[in-house]
Amino acid sequence: MRVNQKFFNRNTVIVAKDLLGKFLVRRIGNKIIKARITETEAYCGTKDLACHASKGLTERTKIMFGPPGHFYIYMVYGMYHCLNIVTEKEGNPSAVLIRAAEFSILNLQFSNKSQTIKLKGPGILCRELKIDKKFNSIDITKSNLLWVEDDETKIKKSQIKKGKRIGVDYAGKWKNKLWRFYLD
């Protein structure tokens, strides 16, 4: 079942946790890849110095100030795309970065055993799923190329680990927020 806009119109930290175990679904031609989300990070508005929106409304960040349930795609180091989903109400620029996911493929060479492909790191995830700037600002609830599904797998609180966000040492006290969530 496709996740609706109401799911994203909530507190960003809660959405970041609740995305764990959901499927990021990518259609490439006739192929559909369903990758289970295993790691996220929350970025919470203009006061969060690790959040791009802390610099205010810019051409780059305007999508974050819009309605929830839209993709916010940006590049780091001029070469890696990062996939984010806008959360909370319009005007409160927040988003969840999808850091990692995994999916299984059937390996017919080895007695029909499946092999798990781990997409660890937001740049690798985007590269392997062919996600780039063309997805920026697309409504996640209407896209037929990229969306999130819930198979209603229950993730127990004990399965969710938390840690500091990665690569935000410049963000003062905000660098210490335990807003990175992952499954063991």
Per-residue model confidence as pLDDT tens digits over 119-177:
999 999 999 999 999 999 999 999 999 999 999 888 999 999 999 999 999 999 999 99
Domain covering 5-183, topology: 3-methyladenine DNA Glycosylase; Chain A (3.10.300)
> Using CA atoms, how far apart are residues 69 and 13, in angstroms rounded to an integer?
15
Mean confidence (pLDDT) of the chain:
93
> Using CA atoms, how far apart are residues 89 and 86, in angstroms rounded to an integer?
9
The answer to whether the beta carbons of residues 128 and 119 sit under 8 Å apart is: yes
Residue 49 has pLDDT above 80, yes or no: yes
Would you state the pLDDT for residue 176?
A: 96
